[in-house]
Structure 1
Amino acid sequence: MATLHLLSHSPFADSRLASCLQLLAAEDALLLTGDAVYALQAGTAQRQALESMPASIALYALEEDIRARALSALPERLKVIDYAGFVEQCCRYDRTNAWL
C-alpha cells in the first residue's frame, strides 16, 4: 500500500523529516507544505537527504508555500503542485500520513 506522507513543520525545528525519511517505502511519496519546504534550501543536510531518496519515491511541494518563502534553485526531481494537485495526490495514494 503506497502512502503519501505530509510534512508541514520546519525540518530545522525537530526530527520529523528524518523520521519520515526512514519510513518511506519504494512507492510512497512525500509532500512538503508550510515550513517543511525549507528542507528544499540548497546546501543543507535536509536537501541532501531529499535528493538521496530513491527515484521511485515522489517528492512534491506546494507552490504557494515555496513562493511565500522565496525559495529558488529547487531540486530537479521536485514536482511543484497547487492545492488541486494536493487533493489529487491524496486521492491517488492508498493512505495519507500527516506528520503532526
Structure 2
Amino acid sequence: MATLHILSHSPFADSRLVSCLRLLGANDALLLTGDALYALQPNTANLQALQLLPAGIALYALDEDLAARGLAAPERVQTVDYPGFVELCSRYAKVNSWL
C-alpha cells in the first residue's frame, strides 16, 4: 500500500528526514514543505541522500515554499502547488505527516 510522506521540518533541526528515508517503501512518495525544503540545498548530504533514492520513490516539493525560501527544485524533484498537494493526498492509499 503506497504512502505519501509529508515532511515540513528542517533536516538540520532533528532526524525526521533520516527516519523518513529509512521507512520509504518502493512505491511511496515524499513531499517536502516548509523548512524541510532546506534539504534541497546544493552540495549537502541531505540532497545527496534524496537523489540516491530508488526511481520508484517520487519526490515532490511545494512550489510556494520553494519560492519563499529562494530555492530551486533539483531535476529529480517535481514541484506541486496547493491543488497538486491535495491531489497527491488523494492519489496515495495512506498519508503520513511527520509532525
TM-score bin (small chain):
over 0.9
Identity, in percent, stands at 69
Q: Is it true that 1:85 corresponds to 2:84 in the alignment?
A: yes
| Residues 39-58 of structure 1: pairs in structure 2 closer than 5 A | 39-58=39-58
TM-score for both structures, normalised by structure 1: 0.97
Deviations 1:11-44 (A, max 9, x none): 0000000000000000000000000000000000
Q: What amino acid is the match of 2:96?
A: N
What is the alpha-carbon distance in structure 1 between the residues aligned to residue 64 and residue 11 of structure 2? 18
Runs ≥4 in structure 1, deviation > 6 angstroms? none
Residue aligning to 1:17:
17
Deviations 1:46-65 (A, max 9, x none): 00000000000000000000
Q: Secondary structure of the equivalent of 2:75? A: coil
5+ residue gaps, structure 2: none
Q: Secondary structure of the equivalent of 1:97? A: strand
Tell me how far 1:75 sits from its aligned partner: 1.8
* Aligned residues between the structures: 99
Residue aligning to 2:69:
69
What is the alpha-carbon distance in structure 1 between the residues aligned to residue 66 and residue 52 of structure 2? 21
Residue aligning to 1:27:
27
Q: Secondary structure of the equivalent of 1:98? A: strand
Tell me how far 1:77 sits from its aligned partner: 1.4
Q: What amino acid is the match of 1:80?
A: T
Residue aligning to 1:96:
95
Q: Secondary structure of the equivalent of 2:9? A: coil
